[in-house]
A and B are shown apart, each in its own frame.
Chain A
């Protein structure tokens, strides 16, 4: 795989079929990101993991049934129908266990996921032993593969993705309301239980449609990673859905195109790795919730606190022991290397002390209750009150304090 093949793949130069698959994967990824946003917001993301693992026995059983009936065991519609049925059975099990027993949802998910997956592996083993099963290639449903994908299959995936996306957008308002505040939604007359079912149904549809490209082990990542990454960039549901969709689409497209460059590259893991890269970028560089931005904000706040404390200590003639405080004040030219206050340092210290004294008076005065609530030790009072109000406070200050 050379650089130019990768470029060819990304620019859809690898032939009609590979291009079709890449477009299908992009649509699927977009739909998965958008639908997954609501799972994530409704804190139901892990249920999709149970759904996806529960598809496997359906795939195996459908194959066995189709072969027994004398048909082609690999017919995609049959396999997808089988996977949908067993995924629905798995979903019902999780729902039943959580609502009818004292089992918590995570325990129910764990139990259902492993049992269904185990059952599916047993079926795959049986299929391996069948004459028709040798070349079944059902393992590709585990990790996804685009090599040798039929045109009709790619079209099915693209159409399925588009349909799920349309339904998700149609239901976005009730799903948002039911995720944020289910009690209020019920009180407003929304069928919250049915909305939850619809949400799970959409996740199930994504899983089934994505089975061939992404594989059942990785599909959950397509539903969860893009929304989680998108959350770093925005504080609005609509934008989370949109950004998650774009990230999912980019991952699907890139992953499918890259895996088309070599016959043995599994598609699912590559798609997930691309999505993960987008997640890491978001985690680090988002200006609002990102790790780096938070670090910078923390440092800045820490510096403000230290300098303020240092200035107050200077003004009251107290010694400063903390190394960080001394270093910060030296760097700002407030004290000399030997720790003695500079001209600027003395001026600022006096101002800080005056501000603190004004705050003390203000906080003791019930008329200023609202402003007093803003006290944090750092905000200068001048930014909150008018000049006249400050002048009035100063009249209550002892004359020697105002210098």
Chain B
């Protein structure tokens, strides 16, 4: 890396600075077919911050996250986690996919889903021991789902499913948490429970990145925002970047003035 890169504040920063960021994305382009969903995006997610990725539907929010995790293959770009390639930092990253991305009739219990977060510890044949079960139960407890441990996952409500996914991510014991629309279609109690857990993670110095769609709650929940609409629109603290001008740039005519008034 000899390039000089644009840091969050727009000033060029030396490449060494990548090590500072739990997640740094440089020049990322992802295309589905021949249409870029994300084009030439730079992003630096700050350590210990809670960042919202916001933008209109189809703006590439989820794609950005999936590319950062290696779930979709980018056409170009570089992704580093604490300055090192992703493949060697897997144990430092936890991921909460969209709830609708899996089949909830899968024959498994809540506790088994949380244990999936311990795969890196358990490996191919490692036995699930009492301490693994204890970890999984503790994670369920943190999201208020301890009493559901032995339920079949198909019996859960949408909000409960989302909490189980969060518990699985907690079990991964990571430093960086990436969540894809965790508040989509969940009840108010679940939203409260999730945000409490995320703030708790932040208090422990963890980094949290959330694909978010509800502009009204951005100010309450997050420290930083990343606005995207195929390209990067703005990045910074909520005060710096969550402005009417930037929102207008990201959403264009799709954002009603009333909505914007409520958000900003």
Q: Which residues between 33 and 92 of chain A lie within 8 Å of chain B, taking CB atoms? A: 41, 43
Shortest CB distance A59–B (Å): 34
Q: Taking CB as reference atom, which chain A residue is nearest B180? A: A183
Shortest CB distance A402–B (Å): 31
Is there a chain A Cβ closer than 8 Å to B202's Cβ? no
Q: Taking CB as reference atom, which chain A residue is nearest B33? A: A102
Contacts of B187 in A (CB 8 A): 373
User: Contact at B107–A237, with CB atoms within 8 Å?
Assistant: yes
Contacts of B138 in A (CB 8 A): none
Number of chain B interface residues as a range: 20 to 34
Determine the distance from Cα of A240 to Cα of B107 in the docked complex, in whole angstroms: 8
Is there a chain B Cβ closer than 8 Å to A236's Cβ? yes
Is there a chain A Cβ closer than 8 Å to B172's Cβ? yes
User: Contact at A234–B107, with CB atoms within 8 Å?
Assistant: yes
B69, B87, B109, B178 — which one has the most chain A CB atoms within 10 A of its CB?
B69
Contacts of B117 in A (CB 8 A): 188
- Please tell me which stretch of A173-181, A260-268, A322-330, A331-339 contacts chain B, meaning at least 4 of its Cβ atoms lie within 8 angstroms of it: A173-181
Determine the distance from Cα of A170 to Cα of B107 in the docked complex, in whole angstroms: 19
Instruction: State which of A170, A188, A234, A239 has its C-beta within 8 Å of the C-beta of B90.
Output: A188
User: Contact at A236–B108, with CB atoms within 8 Å?
Assistant: yes
Contacts of B112 in A (CB 8 A): 236-237
Contacts of A96 in B (CB 8 A): none
Residue positions of B touching A, CB distance < 8 A: 66, 69-71, 87, 90-91, 93, 95, 97, 101-103, 106-109, 112-113, 116-117, 119-120, 122, 124-125, 152, 154, 168, 172, 178, 187, 189
Q: List 29 A-B contacts (CB under 8 A).
A: A43-B103, A173-B119, A173-B122, A173-B124, A174-B124, A177-B116, A181-B101, A183-B66, A183-B71, A183-B101, A184-B116, A184-B168, A187-B93, A188-B90, A188-B116, A188-B119, A188-B120, A188-B172, A189-B90, A189-B120, A234-B107, A235-B107, A235-B108, A235-B152, A235-B154, A236-B109, A237-B107, A239-B107, A370-B189
Extra contacts besides A369-B189, A370-B189 (15): CB < 8 Å: A173-B124, A177-B119, A181-B116, A183-B69, A183-B101, A187-B69, A188-B95, A188-B117, A188-B119, A190-B119, A231-B107, A235-B107, A236-B108, A236-B109, A239-B107
